[in-house]
Copies of this chain bind each other. A is one copy, B any other.
């Protein structure tokens, strides 16, 4: 189940390994060349070695590291959290408690977002269903948006920044 390819550092290519360009790396790991350059710029990926024409050359190790990054981002971890996860993944002998803590904290945030988003969905559904379809002046949707007291939820819904 577990092999030796877990290490995510991109150092030391083996003697005859094939190098790939940034385009192929991007395709293989599901992102764009611009994003790869951006990740290098902010230090999630190490500076890639260059060929004589100043173009970046990558090995398979870079694909693994970038895939890890993309996958972590897909899970909603922030770039800073990904930075910490990479740091941990680069030290396989360390205890994984910190990884666990990070994941649990993120889960808690995801669940909070889910709760707020669910409340928003329910309220949206309710206001759409109650719209009788007349003029704007009689529109229940506009009413609810005008007056918080018409909401079934008690508190505010949580702010747009929280629900996406």
Which of A11-19, A20-28, A48-56, A83-91 has 4 or more CB atoms under 8 Å from chain B?
Answer: A83-91
Given the complex of chains A and B, what is the CA–CA distance between A71 and B134 in angstroms? 22
Taken together, the copies of this chain in the complex come to 2
In the complex, the answer to whether B96 meets A135 with C-beta atoms within 8 Å is yes
Most buried by B among A77, A99, A125: A99
Q: Which residues of B contact A93 (CB under 8 A)?
A: 135-137
In the complex, the answer to whether A136 meets B74 with C-beta atoms within 8 Å is no
Q: DSSP class of A's interface residues: helix, strand, loop or mixed?
A: helix
In the complex, the answer to whether A134 meets B95 with C-beta atoms within 8 Å is yes
In the complex, the answer to whether B2 meets A139 with C-beta atoms within 8 Å is no
Chain B CB within 8 A of A30 CB: yes
- Total residues of chain A contacting the partner, CB 8 A: 67
Chain B CB within 8 A of A92 CB: yes
In the complex, the answer to whether B127 meets A120 with C-beta atoms within 8 Å is no
Given the complex of chains A and B, what is the CA–CA distance between A159 and B73 in angstroms? 7
Given the complex of chains A and B, what is the CA–CA distance between A6 and B96 in angstroms? 57
Take A107-B121, A164-B163 as given contacts and tell me if A158 and B95 are in contact as well, using a CB distance cutoff of 8 Å.
no
* Interface residue from B85, B124, B159 paired with A145 (Cβ < 8 Å): B85
Given the complex of chains A and B, what is the CA–CA distance between A6 and B158 in angstroms? 24
Chain B CB within 8 A of A103 CB: yes
In the complex, the answer to whether A159 meets B74 with C-beta atoms within 8 Å is yes
Interface residues of A (CB under 8 A from B): 2, 6, 8, 30, 64, 67-68, 71-77, 85, 88-89, 91-97, 99-100, 103-104, 106-107, 110-111, 113-114, 117-118, 120-121, 123-125, 127-128, 131, 133-139, 141-148, 156-160, 162-164
